[in-house]
Amino acid sequence: MEIYNDKIHIDDSVSFNNNATFCVGTGRMSLALRNEYHNQLKKVQEEICFSHIRGHGLFCDDMAIYHTYEEDGVEKIEYNFTYVDMVFDDYQSLGLKPFVELGFMPEKLASGNQTVFYWKGNTTPPSDYQKWADLITATIQHFISRYGREEVITWPFEVWNEPNLPGFWKDADREEYFKLYNVTSNAIKNCDLRIRVGGPAICGVDDENWLMCFLNYCSNNKVSIDFVTRHVYATQAPKKDGHYEYQKLRSPESLMSELKNSRRIIDSFPEYAGMEMHITEFNTSYTPLNPIHDTNLNAAYVARLLSEMGDFCASYSYWTFGDVFEESGVAFTPFSGCFGLVANGMIPKPTFWAFSFFHNLGSNAIARSEYFIITKDSEDNLHGIAWYPVEENVNINVTLHFTIELNNGFYILIMKRVDELTCNPLKTWIDMGSPAYPSKEQLVLLRECARPQIRTKQYEVNHNAMNFDITLSANALCYFEIQRIQCETDQGYHPECIRGARLPF
């Protein structure tokens, strides 16, 4: 396929709200105590620099915050913030703020036994809402005491996770959630009115109805809300097989229309019109057992989403940064279809690079289509990303033809490619025989196979326009930069006399 794009002027301006790195998801909080988790997150931060991180399980028992004991025949409560300090200290050292999800329920405060996931998060309402409010207050006061009040007011707080699913909230009881939200929001605002709180953290099941009711509830009861949160995933119903689940993708358009609907609902409330909507989880598939997460298809599809989601959303948090994750148990293999940007064994997946590339992009777009986006930085260097998701098992490609209006002079085009041939560690792992327990040497090779291929080319622009093509094979993701250069020449240095110094791209 050939696509001839309109001539691009570097002084053009097109809308683009790049919040790809505002927030990222994580496995449950106690996993943040792990060594592999720390290493994966460090790698992610070195390359991508997310600002916030959000995950489940702050109040689960493995975080050991909520305790009771008997004194003089009376049950008393004590809190232990040792582990949450370890986690948040580590986040801070990696340049991350928490996007705090308040949940799930400590066993001793729970009203029932219902749990979710392999790791058994209790998903029932508190047995005593006052004790819940006390827990929220004590937790936030502790945060203020350790990290400083001015810091904590920069952390968003979200109440619970996906209460519209019965697995995550007993009976998906809407009124009960509203009560939880109300109590929690009040407890937070009592600590400091400036701390921002939001909900309802719903996924795409009965979402329009839930959102409408939630906002009505807040409005009618004058419950504080600073932002709206929801989730979105791009896959259809799964087919299970052994440890895995396979799914078809939805179109990006159908996903975007879900978000537009939420946006529309929010804006329909005069008092909430324009309120920030944070997508606190998104990905292609919602199951950590779908191999799509490990593929180049995932990277190309997500790149398209990253170019568009900012049109309606204040942020969109990829679920999740790494594969230290146990919702469906412990993976049997390093590539296991889990959500992460990094596979266990410190192997960046193709989607890792989608985020790295958007991190480099800035927000000042000058051209944009279904296949690419181009921005300009403060020094007039151009940055672009192109993608070509192909779900079917066919070998096709597309060539994008670009013409950019530029001043005459010399330029370098730098191109970094991530495609099924050049940066596909999943394929290399399968070539190795899909070892469940790869050796150190195999892990080194997998990491080496997980880097973009880089090429450069020098252009001389003579007639105020630079023409170049980018050919994308199926599921290719391509980052490019165009920089003006000064050609210097050292005394007696003649590239044309040096074998290999001048070559076609």
- Active-site positions read 162
- Of 34 and 263, nearer to a second copy (C-beta) is 34
- Of 91 and 227, nearer to a second copy (C-beta) is 91
- Of 155 and 459, nearer to a second copy (C-beta) is 459
- Of 286 and 335, nearer to a second copy (C-beta) is 335
454 counts as binding a second copy under rule CB under 8 A? yes
Number of residues that bind a second copy (CB under 8 A): 93
Identified binder of a second copy from the candidate list 331, 343, 373, 406, rule CB under 8 A: 331
Binding mask 131-170 for a second copy (x = CB under 8 A): -----------x---x------------------------
Rg (CA), the chain: 25
The backbone torsions φ and ψ at residue 393, rounded to the nearest 5 degrees and listed phi first, read -85, 65
4 counts as binding a second copy under rule CB under 8 A? no
The enclosing H or E element of 52 equals strand 52-55
408 counts as binding a second copy under rule CB under 8 A? no
Tokens 């915050």 locate to 65
Nearest-approach distance from CB 490 to a second copy, in angstroms: 5
Q: Are 180 and 218 in contact (CB under 8 A)?
A: no
The candidate with the shortest Cα–Cα distance to 36, out of 347, 320, 436, is 347
- Of 281 and 294, nearer to a second copy (C-beta) is 294
297 counts as binding a second copy under rule CB under 8 A? yes
Alpha-carbon span 382 to 470, nearest angstrom: 15
Instruction: Look at residue 167 and give its three-state secondary structure.
Output: coil
Binding mask 251-270 for a second copy (x = CB under 8 A): --------------------
Tokens 């396929």 locate to 1
- Of 191 and 477, nearer to a second copy (C-beta) is 477
435 counts as binding a second copy under rule CB under 8 A? yes
The enclosing H or E element of 443 equals helix 440-448
Task: List beta partners, residue 240.
Answer: 245
Nearest-approach distance from CB 485 to a second copy, in angstroms: 4
Identified binder of a second copy from the candidate list 254, 407, 434, 464, rule CB under 8 A: 434
Nearest-approach distance from CB 420 to a second copy, in angstroms: 4
DSSP letters for 317-384 = EES-SBS---TT---SSS-SS-S-SEETTTEE-HHHHHHHHHHTT-S-EEEE-SSEEEEE-TTS-EEE
Nearest-approach distance from CB 219 to a second copy, in angstroms: 39
Q: Which of residues 104-123 bind a second copy (CB under 8 A)?
A: none
Burial class from Cβ neighbours inside 10 Å (0-12, 13-18, 19+) for residue 393 reads exposed
- Degrees to nearest 5, angle at CA 386 with 385 and 390: 140
Identified binder of a second copy from the candidate list 134, 291, 465, 471, rule CB under 8 A: 291
Q: What is the 3-state secondary structure (H, E, C) of 387-406?
A: ECCCCCCCCCEEEEEEEEEC
Nearest-approach distance from CB 182 to a second copy, in angstroms: 30
Contacts of 450 (CB under 8 A, 6+ apart): 347, 348, 349, 352, 423, 425
Nearest-approach distance from CB 227 to a second copy, in angstroms: 29
Amino acid at 428: T
Identified binder of a second copy from the candidate list 209, 407, 458, 467, rule CB under 8 A: 458
User: How many CB atoms sit inside 10 A of residue 238's CB?
Assistant: 16
Tokens encoding 505: 């791209």
360 counts as binding a second copy under rule CB under 8 A? no
448 counts as binding a second copy under rule CB under 8 A? yes
Alpha-carbon span 277 to 329, nearest angstrom: 31
444 counts as binding a second copy under rule CB under 8 A? no
Identified binder of a second copy from the candidate list 190, 236, 408, 456, rule CB under 8 A: 456
- Of 4 and 410, nearer to a second copy (C-beta) is 410
Q: Which of residues 217-246 bind a second copy (CB under 8 A)?
A: 240-244, 246
- Of 220 and 491, nearer to a second copy (C-beta) is 491
Q: Which of residues 52-91 bind a second copy (CB under 8 A)?
A: 64, 67, 69, 78, 80-83, 85-86, 89-90
The candidate with the shortest Cα–Cα distance to 293, out of 242, 229, 348, is 348
Q: Which stretch binds a second copy (CB under 8 A): 100-108, 173-181, 362-370, 437-445?
A: 437-445
Nearest-approach distance from CB 92 to a second copy, in angstroms: 10
Nearest-approach distance from CB 232 to a second copy, in angstroms: 21
Nearest-approach distance from CB 379 to a second copy, in angstroms: 11
Q: Name the maximum alpha-carbon separation found in the chain.
A: 92
Contacts of 131 (CB under 8 A, 6+ apart): 77, 109
Task: List beta partners, residue 122.
Answer: 115
Identified binder of a second copy from the candidate list 166, 238, 329, 362, rule CB under 8 A: 329
Tokens encoding 408: 């005459």
Q: Are 280 and 200 in contact (CB under 8 A)?
A: no
- Of 292 and 306, nearer to a second copy (C-beta) is 292
